[in-house]
Structure 1
């Protein structure tokens, strides 16, 4: 009974740390709102995002078109609402893939040591030498610009960063007494890695992965802006900005509103990452407690 009460107390303490962190709560609220907008796009969008009306090209904001129309007479607000689905989908699956692959690669490198670590680190350093966006750009150009290709390319581009962080954390965990004790009682290296090393190394990696979601959304927007992302008429925030640049003087809301959507999403993810860092890192918790 006491053990269960201790676990419950720890959970309540963790929940209090999260709810008392203003940045974390603001990030969570913004992300939940964005997720609800993306899921309810068919209900919230006033028009079809692909329906054109050549009689209403570059129309000013009105009750019918709250943010006006683009050069093809499509509702800008509807395209932004539907574009949220693409951006959040890219961010989620990029984090899922890069976190899974990077965690495994970094954990194996840090735990195995020897020539295995040297080979993995060398390959990882080669990938890190390339700017992530340029690497994603090259992969998309080679594989095509379908949504699956974009997610895979961006995930591969941002995996080396997560792998490097995971390896550095594992190197600090490997010499700890409980790891040596696990070996002493006969646990296999694979079991030690999966049961003790990776779970204890995950918190800082999750923080990096959260921030990577923001950069992944920026990367998708950049690819779409350059014409290498999801192709029109499918709406994404990046191609809305690209389409609006030709009409920046007549209807600046096209590009500005899409840029604002990207900025809000990136800020929300960065606030979430900062909150996770402050609440998961014991040293940060102590420093925050002193300031409070």
Structure 2
């Protein structure tokens, strides 16, 4: 059964690949966005988020603070997969990466009790214009002094050129434990030794910090120092595995759609290409 599923995935990806315009087949340039969405609060209407993101024609979107299938997001008494809804509006593939269950935010109960839960989920997500061939989600260390359980999700993505890249999306703690969490992000558990890798997310630390310096032992910056949290603090990053990528443009967008504030973070957009 697993072999059949894998074969179907490969065939589906091949069909999608050949369905792309010929003008795109040789392109390895990507428009990458990272955005801490603050759980789609306050009313969980994803339409303004879709409009904001779609206007930038991104190829890959990494989302932090993703609350998914939670009780307070229900509509007509039914749980909603907001990541899938957003991906559908943007005509993109998607993967959600579980960090913790909202019913166990304080982590006092054994994780095994929530491992197979399908509701009350919290974590990160990746949306891709191109087929996602493999995924992995894992929890990061939660040392004493950190606030929440954090995680990272990865997606291996098939580009129109036929090359495969890996995209990792993570959100480090805002109180403590960031260095221990960053140490995992530079290992082969996340960064592939053979596949060019992009790492995006809210690192809750700025340029020059021990946390970012740790990440820069394995990644290059593919962004700018312009503030993305309240337009003054640079904590949302787009990084690329060393010597694989070059950046031609980076912009920090405003965090509004019309008069609606979408988040306390601003989306960051970088245009990158493989070397």
The structure where strand makes up a greater share of residues is: 2
Q: Which has the higher helix share?
A: 1
TM-score by length of 2: 0.22
TM value normalised by structure 1? 0.21
Higher relative contact order (CA 8 A, sep 6+): 1
